[in-house]
């Protein structure tokens, strides 16, 4: 099942810069692993903001939840999640 996930990152200003950098490095590695596996299908940056719009391909709601809480930046994120379904007018066969 596909999900659109809008993520806004709010790292506290008083977070130790070394901790912030290490957390961002772990986030990048984890997100790229999810992309390679096909779970994180798309990610787009919102220009000028510490936000992104992403498409996840997960088995179900529980799987999505597990993936999202595994994000190292999860404690600093606000998310809006929209389940997506295939549009009957789509000509693409891979847009489940």
pLDDT in tens, 15-68: 999 999 999 999 999 999 999 999 999 999 999 999 999 999 999 999 999 999
* Token pair 């997506």 in the structure block, residue: 84
Helix H segments across the chain?
17-37, 61-69
Quote the pTM value.
0.91
Assign domain 2-84 to a CATH class: alpha beta
- CA nearest 26: which of 93, 76, 85? 76
Q: Report residue 53: phi and psi, to 5°.
A: -115, 125
């Amino acid at each position: 099942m596909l999900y659109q996930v809008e993520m806004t990152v709010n790292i506290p200003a008083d977070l130790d810069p070394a901790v912030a950098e290490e957390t961002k490095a772990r986030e990048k590695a984890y997100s790229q692993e999810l992309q390679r596996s096909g779970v994180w299908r798309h990610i787009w940056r919102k220009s000028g903001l510490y936000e992104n719009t992403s498409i996840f391909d997960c088995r179900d709601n529980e799987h999505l939840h597990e993936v999202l809480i595994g994000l190292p930046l999860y404690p600093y994120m606000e998310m809006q999640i929209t389940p997506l379904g295939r549009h009957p007018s789509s000509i693409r066969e891979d847009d489940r």
